[in-house]
A and B are shown apart, each in its own frame.
Chain A
Amino acid sequence: MKRKLAAAIVIAGMMVSVSACGGDDGDDSGKNAGPDSFKGQTLTVWAMDGSTPDQWVKDVTAAFEKKTGAKLKFETQKWDGIQQKITTALSESNPPDVLEVGNTQTPAYAATGGLADLSDLKQQIGTDWTPSVSQSSVYEGKQYAAPWYFANRVVIYNKKIWAKAGIKDTPKTRDEFFKDLDTIGKKTDAEPIYLPGQNWYFFDGLTIGQGADLVKKDGDKYVSNLADAKVAKAMEIYKKYASYSKAPKDKDEATPQQAEIFAKGKTGAFIGMGWEAGTAVQANKAIEKDLGYFTIPGETADKPESVFLGGSNLAVAQGSKKQALAEEFLKIALSDQYEGELAKLNGVIPNKKSLETNLKGNAVAEAAAPGAAVGGTTPLIPEWGAVENAPNPIKSYMTAVLNGKSPADAAKQVEGEINKRLAQQN
């Protein structure tokens, strides 16, 4: 701990000198942006559920307060209904200063004008951000957020149940995986896999794996692509997975929290984010020793299943009166030290290639990395955000297919709604 603190001080010291060099980067509201000028202020940061490990919060807060003299307050938000909450917050006269924004939702917010232009900051600290992950924050040539971390789903499994079923090795292909699930179903009384009908992030990964996208361009506007045969194929794969689960077909992975179901020890596996293992352990400490991870296997052994590359960016509210202080925070939080620490603690992919060494030895990250290499996202267009609003028509599509509708019919059923949302003017 002491050593960490010492390191933090050193880094903080370095930061001060760095920012002193680039001190004349525009005339943001913070005049005389010396450390003392921030005294008495409090910077509010909205972070999403699961994003910020306690240790990281502690370290970053210490470094931030040391450097700026201001206070730092983290407020954790839930993903459910977050878009409405952020919209309202950004419209207020006193919004949270820094916000974590999901990568697929960032273009929509950039288009609203609610996020501050961080192009200057990118010049200072972001020249080596991985371009593919920084791309979601660029709108009309300007950088509206800083890429923070990326993560993708892996299979989290219960080693005890797999051993009981007599399975020695983790599967390398999708068919092997299905066979293992079958074995678990036959040889144990556990549910082979918990997969609710509306885990649309997993489904999105499957569509990427089939080389398809959820929307397509029609002239100058976007329309639903669910009727595509490749999407139907992806949905069939999903359905096959779901056939090994008794999970509700009309719920997503967060209601109830799938990790908490898994934590009861009667589930062979689930498809989730690395941090969900932490949720499971929190619910039941005894599950920790049985946790295992592997990459979601693909069609063939040489190429794993594609995954949805979930990611989060850090944005500064345009309406924040503490722009300079917010940038100070971003410089600390995204510094190699703390970005690296976050990657290490949460097993997430950092925003720079050079920091990926932090993932060595992390079981989750090692399982996630092969999938990430063939991962993708939903289309990074401002129009997409509206599609994710509840009731998400992609989820309705999935439930309809799982309830026996043909993919084509289900696609037809929700197409109108998707197109309406994609056409929604801003």
Chain B
Amino acid sequence: MSVQTRGTDTAGEPAVRKAPVPAPPRGGDRTPGAPSRRHAAAPYLLLLPALLATVVLLGWPLVKNGLLSFQNLNPRQLIQHLTEWNGVDNYREVLTGQDFWHVVERTVVFTAVNVVLIMAVGTLVGLLLARLGKRMRLLLMVGLVLAWAMPYVAATTVYQWLFAQRFGVVNWVLDRLGWHSMADYNWLGTQTSTYFVIILLLVWQSVPFVAINLYAATTTIPKELYEAASLDGAGGWKSFTSVTLPFLRPFLYATTFLEVIWIFKAFTQVFAINEGGPDRLTETLPVYAYVEGVGNQHFGVGAAISFLTIVALLVITSYYLRMVLKQEEDEL
């Protein structure tokens, strides 16, 4: 800590620089180099806490998970603390099974549908925020932040109540509006209707993030550009596509990227709404990994599935990753 403080100090005030440097115990020739070396180390030192946290909280579990995926680990082995290596058996079992590929396909489609909806609705709400008057903007903002701040499980429980079969508000309203056949409709009875509820929940939860981000992006657009555009005879649509959109593009890419990750790995909501049911038809990859691994107490197989999930996510996001990396390079 003291090193860091000193480092920052030296950067600001050259006069103080010499004071903390100790008398030359290591030989006079090294003294001139020392401050700049320390200077060079400062960013790494500043990164250290974050890196350490990542390694401890993410890296280590990941390594452990990787090791588990090559083991035959069931309740007996877990309870007796036995380690039974079984090579790539778990991966072979998963990859040659029908279930896994169904789930992958389903997860990809699920992610695509969600992300498209989230980006479309989120962008529209974001643009709306930019056009609204002060008071309405504040109101909408508060609403968005509240939706965003709602804990996952609480939100999921509320949605379960809304769509409950016998006493749910949604069925009651539909019944009142004249759809009497919906009075006792079981939303969690089929794959499509369960997905409808889950997607609605996920979109509702994600829209605030996208909307607020894009609203923030619009505030960076200089007003003069619109004036110039209108002088050149651009209509509403034209000035949107040639002024607003180019400014928003990097934000759109970044949020899409984040949303893909967020939806792909969404576990809490998908599992809590109907536990991947009915008949395991709404299991996405993370839920599948949980049901096979923890639920069926087949921990090694579960670990293998979760590893494959990471690989699948990397493949899906590779396009964006490459773009982001390229952008970084360009900027350098």
What residues of chain A have their CB less than 8 Å away from a CB belonging to chain B? 83-84, 87-88, 90-91, 108-109, 111-114, 246, 248-250, 318-319, 386, 389-391, 396, 399-400, 403, 413, 421, 424-426
Cβ contact of A87, chosen from B75, B166, B184, B189, cutoff 8 A: B75
B66: chain A residues at CB < 8 Å are none
Q: Which residue of A lies closest to B299 (CB)?
A: A87
Q: Are the C-beta atoms of B295 and A413 separated by less than 8 Å?
A: no
Q: Are the C-beta atoms of B279 and A391 separated by less than 8 Å?
A: yes
* Nearest Cβ on chain B to A44's Cβ, whole angstroms: 17
B284: chain A residues at CB < 8 Å are none
A426: chain B residues at CB < 8 Å are 74-76
B106: chain A residues at CB < 8 Å are none
The 6 lowest CB-CB distance pairs between A and B, nearest first, are A114-B79, A112-B76, A87-B75, A91-B78, A112-B75, A426-B76
Q: Is B37 an interface residue (CB 8 A)?
A: no
Residue among A90, A111, A112, A319 with most chain B CB within 10 A? A112
Q: Name which of B107-115, B146-154, B173-181, B270-278 contacts chain A.
A: B270-278
Q: Are the C-beta atoms of B277 and A386 separated by less than 8 Å?
A: no
* Nearest Cβ on chain A to B21's Cβ, whole angstroms: 51
Q: Are the C-beta atoms of A84 and B294 separated by less than 8 Å?
A: yes
Q: Are the C-beta atoms of B75 and A250 separated by less than 8 Å?
A: no
A-B contact pairs, 29 of them (CB 8 A): A83-B297, A84-B294, A84-B297, A87-B75, A91-B81, A111-B76, A112-B76, A113-B76, A113-B79, A114-B80, A248-B166, A249-B189, A250-B277, A318-B79, A386-B296, A386-B297, A389-B296, A389-B297, A390-B275, A390-B291, A390-B295, A391-B277, A391-B279, A396-B278, A399-B278, A400-B279, A403-B189, A424-B296, A426-B75
* Nearest Cβ on chain B to A102's Cβ, whole angstroms: 15
A246: chain B residues at CB < 8 Å are 166, 184
Q: Are the C-beta atoms of B80 and A425 separated by less than 8 Å?
A: no
* Nearest Cβ on chain B to A56's Cβ, whole angstroms: 30
Q: Are the C-beta atoms of A391 and B75 separated by less than 8 Å?
A: no
What per-residue 1/0 map shows which CB atoms of B171-213 lie under 8 Å from chain A? 0000000000000101011000000000000000000000000
A87: chain B residues at CB < 8 Å are 75, 78-79, 297
A88: chain B residues at CB < 8 Å are 78
Q: Is B298 an interface residue (CB 8 A)?
A: yes
Q: Are the C-beta atoms of B294 and A424 separated by less than 8 Å?
A: no
* Nearest Cβ on chain A to B147's Cβ, whole angstroms: 27
B278: chain A residues at CB < 8 Å are 250, 396, 399
| Bound Cα distance A325, B79 (Å) | 22
A389: chain B residues at CB < 8 Å are 295-297
A391-B276, A391-B279, A425-B72 known; A112 vs B186 contact (CB < 8 Å): no
A91-B79, A112-B79, A391-B280 known; A250 vs B186 contact (CB < 8 Å): yes
Q: Is B165 an interface residue (CB 8 A)?
A: yes
* Nearest Cβ on chain A to B1's Cβ, whole angstroms: 36
Cβ contact of B275, chosen from A318, A386, A391, A424, cutoff 8 A: A391
A249: chain B residues at CB < 8 Å are 186, 189
Q: Which residue of A lies closest to B72 (CB)?
A: A425
Q: Are the C-beta atoms of B276 and A425 separated by less than 8 Å?
A: no
| Bound Cα distance A87, B165 (Å) | 34
* Nearest Cβ on chain A to B15's Cβ, whole angstroms: 58
A386: chain B residues at CB < 8 Å are 296-297
A113: chain B residues at CB < 8 Å are 76, 79-80
| Bound Cα distance A386, B184 (Å) | 33
Interface set, chain B 27-58, CB cutoff 8 A to A: none
B294: chain A residues at CB < 8 Å are 84
| Bound Cα distance A109, B189 (Å) | 34
| Bound Cα distance A111, B277 (Å) | 30
Apart from A91-B79, A386-B296, A426-B75, 4 more pairs, CB < 8 Å? A112-B80, A250-B186, A390-B295, A426-B76
A413: chain B residues at CB < 8 Å are 279
Interface set, chain B 63-89, CB cutoff 8 A to A: 72, 74-76, 78-81
A91: chain B residues at CB < 8 Å are 78-79, 81
* Nearest Cβ on chain B to A227's Cβ, whole angstroms: 17
Q: Which residue of A lies closest to B98 (CB)?
A: A416
* Nearest Cβ on chain A to B155's Cβ, whole angstroms: 19
| Bound Cα distance A95, B98 (Å) | 38
* Nearest Cβ on chain B to A409's Cβ, whole angstroms: 13
A111: chain B residues at CB < 8 Å are 76
A318: chain B residues at CB < 8 Å are 79
B189: chain A residues at CB < 8 Å are 249-250, 403
B165: chain A residues at CB < 8 Å are 248
Q: Which residue of B lies closest to A248 (CB)?
A: B165
Q: Are the C-beta atoms of B166 and A250 separated by less than 8 Å?
A: no
Q: Are the C-beta atoms of A250 and B188 separated by less than 8 Å?
A: yes
Q: Which residue of B lies closest to A403 (CB)?
A: B189
* Nearest Cβ on chain A to B317's Cβ, whole angstroms: 30
* Nearest Cβ on chain B to A203's Cβ, whole angstroms: 17
Q: Are the C-beta atoms of B79 and A248 separated by less than 8 Å?
A: no
What per-residue 1/0 map shows which CB atoms of B286-304 lie under 8 Å from chain A? 0000010011111000000
| Bound Cα distance A108, B78 (Å) | 14
| Bound Cα distance A84, B79 (Å) | 12
Q: Which residue of A lies closest to B184 (CB)?
A: A246
* Nearest Cβ on chain B to A96's Cβ, whole angstroms: 13
| Bound Cα distance A409, B329 (Å) | 59
Interface set, chain B 239-298, CB cutoff 8 A to A: 275-280, 291, 294-298
| Bound Cα distance A413, B166 (Å) | 28
* Nearest Cβ on chain A to B217's Cβ, whole angstroms: 43
Q: Which residue of B lies closest to A390 (CB)?
A: B295
Q: Which residue of B lies closest to A111 (CB)?
A: B76
* Nearest Cβ on chain A to B86's Cβ, whole angstroms: 10
A84-B295, A386-B296, A399-B278 known; A248 vs B186 contact (CB < 8 Å): yes
